[in-house]
Amino acid sequence: MDYDVLIIGAGMSGLAAGIRLAYYDKRVCIVEKHHRVGGLNSFYNLRGRKFDVGLHAVTNYVPKGVKLTPLPKLLRQLKLKREDFALCPQRVSAIKFPDKTLKFNNDLDFFVQDVVDNFTAQADNFQRLLKTIFEYDELNLYAKPISAREVVGSIISDPLLIDMVFCPLMFYGNAQENDIEFGQFVIMFKGIYCEGFARPQAGVRQILDVLVRKYRSCGGELKTRCAVTSIQAANNRIESVTLDNGEVLTANRILSSAGYVETMRLLSNYDPTGIEDKAGQLSMVEFITVLNRQPAEMGHETTIIFYNNSDRFDYRNLTS
Amino acid sequence: MTKEEIKSVLMGIVAEIIPDEDLTNLKDDIPIREQVELDSMDFLDIVMELRKRYSVEVPEDDYMQLATIDSSVAYLEPRMRDL
C-alpha cells in the first residue's frame, strides 16, 4: 500500500483529518484537484486584492478561557494555538426583515434582550426555547431526526420571530430547503447566537496556512493539482484511486471530502440509482462590491446583515 | 518502569490533552471522567499517545480498564514495566 490513508480534498475537513492521522503516525496523502487548498472555503486574488470564497465569518467564536465549546476543542484536537488564527470578534450583526430588525453580537443576553424588546409577547416562549436548546444533546449521533420548524413552532407562536431566528442559521448551516433538522438547528443556534462570529485578520488563508503547516510538520503529504478521476472498487472494497495524470495510488483507507454524490460518481462500478437524487438542491451566488473607504466611515458598523425582503423567509431553490 | 513512573507518564499525557483542567487533586480511585471534563475524543487521544510514545496497544475492549488512575496504572504496568 502506498499509504495508510488517502484523503480526497484539501478543504478544512480533509486537512483536519490529515492532521490527526499524520500526528498519530499514519502515512497520509491528501490529493487536491485545485492548485490551492481550502475547497469551499478557499481564497483568491483579483486585481491586486485578496478575497475569500465561501462563508465569510467563523462561527463558534468564544473568548480565551471558555472551555468545552467546539472552538477550543477543535484547537486542542488539532494541537493548534488560538493565536495562530488571529480571530477578530464581530461587533454586531443584524437580521433585517421588512417589518422588523433584530440585532445580535457575541453576547447571548444582548440578542435575548433585542428579541424581548421586539416581540414582547414571546418573551416567556423565547426563554422556554432557550431551555429546550440547552437541554438537547445535539452531539448524539443516534438521535432520531426531528424537524426544527416543528419543535420551535410548538414553543414560539409568532411566525415572524421563528423566521427571523432561523434566517442566519439556515445560511450558515443548512443544505435543506425550508426546514432544518433540530439537532443541526441547536448546533447552529449555539454556534451563532450563544457563541458568536469572528474573522481571521488576514482572511481564511490565515487559517488554511496554519492547517497546511501543521499537517506537513506531522509528516503528511499534500498533492495539489491532482484530481481523482476514478476509484477502483470491487466486491465492496476500494482497490486503488487513479489521478488525472495517470498515476495510481493505493491506500488501506480512503476518506473523501468531495461530497457524497461527487465521490460515488468516481467509483468504477458506479450505479446512479438512489444516489443522484441526493445531490444538493441549494447553491449560493455571491456579488462582491469593493469600496474606496471603510464601511465605518459611511456610518456602517454592522458585521453581517441577513436580509429578507419578502413576508416569509423562503429558504429554497428558486425553481422548486 | 515503576508504577510511579507509569502514573507520571499517564498524568503527563492527560495534562497535555486537557491543559485547561486542574489535575492537582485528582483522586486515584474515582473515574477520571467524573472528576474532569474528558470526552471520548480526549480519551482516544490518550490511548493514541500511549501507542505513539510507548508503543503500548490498548484494544477497544480494554478501554473500560482505564477508567481510574489506579486501574490504568494496574493495566499498563505489565505492558510498560520493561520500558
> What tens digit of pLDDT does each residue of A107-145 get?
999 999 999 999 999 999 999 999 999 999 999 989 999
Residue B40 has pLDDT above 90, yes or no: no
3 state SS for A1-38: CCEEEEEECCEHHHHHHHHHHHHCCCCEEEECCCCCCE
> Cα–Cα distance between A36 and A62 in angstroms, integer?
29
Residue B52 with chain A: CB contacts under 8 Å: 24-25
Average pLDDT, chain A: 94
Q: Which of A19, A21, A76, A79 to mutate to test the interface with B (most CBs of B within 10 A)?
A: A76
String of b and e for A206-227 (b: at least 16 CB within 10 Å)?
Answer: bbbebbbebbeebebbbbeebe
Q: Is B20 on the interface with A (CB under 8 A)?
A: yes
Q: Could you tell me whether strands A43-46 and A93-96 are parallel, antiparallel, or unpaired per DSSP bridges?
A: unpaired
Q: Pinpoint the alpha helices (H) of chain A.
A: 12-23, 70-77, 82-85, 108-118, 123-135, 148-153, 159-173, 182-189, 204-217, 260-266
Binary contact (A76, B19; C-beta < 8 A): yes
Residue A72 with chain B: CB contacts under 8 Å: 20
Looking at the DSSP bridge assignments, the partners of residue A255 are A7
> Interior CA angle at A160 toward A155 and A166, to 5°?
70
How confident is the model at residue B72, as a pLDDT? 96
Residue A238 has pLDDT above 90, yes or no: no
Mean pLDDT score, A32-59: 93
How confident is the model at residue A320, as a pLDDT? 65
Q: How far is A29 from chain B (nearest CA, A)?
A: 19
Mean pLDDT score, B63-79: 95
Q: Could you tell me whether strands A101-104 and A93-96 are parallel, antiparallel, or unpaired per DSSP bridges?
A: antiparallel
Q: How far is B48 from chain A (nearest CA, A)?
A: 7
> What tens digit of pLDDT does each residue of A279-298 get?
888 888 889 999 999 999 99
Q: Is B27 on the interface with A (CB under 8 A)?
A: no
The residue of chain B nearest to residue A76, with distances taken between CA atoms, is B17
Q: Pinpoint the alpha helices (H) of B1-83.
A: 3-17, 40-54, 69-80
How confident is the model at residue A68, as a pLDDT? 84
Q: Is B37 on the interface with A (CB under 8 A)?
A: yes
Q: Is B47 on the interface with A (CB under 8 A)?
A: no
> What tens digit of pLDDT does each residue of A64-117 get?
989 889 999 999 999 999 999 999 999 999 999 999 999 999 999 999 999 999
Residue B29 has pLDDT above 70, yes or no: yes
> Cα–Cα distance between B28 and B71 in angstroms, integer?
8
Q: What pTM, to 2 d.p., does this model score?
A: 0.91
How confident is the model at residue A251, as a pLDDT? 95
Mean pLDDT score, B3-10: 94
How confident is the model at residue B21, as a pLDDT? 85
Could you give phi then psi for residue A174, rounded to 5 degrees? -135, 120
The residue of chain A nearest to residue B21, with distances taken between CA atoms, is A67
Could you give phi then psi for residue A111, rounded to 5 degrees? -65, -45
Residue A53 has pLDDT above 70, yes or no: yes
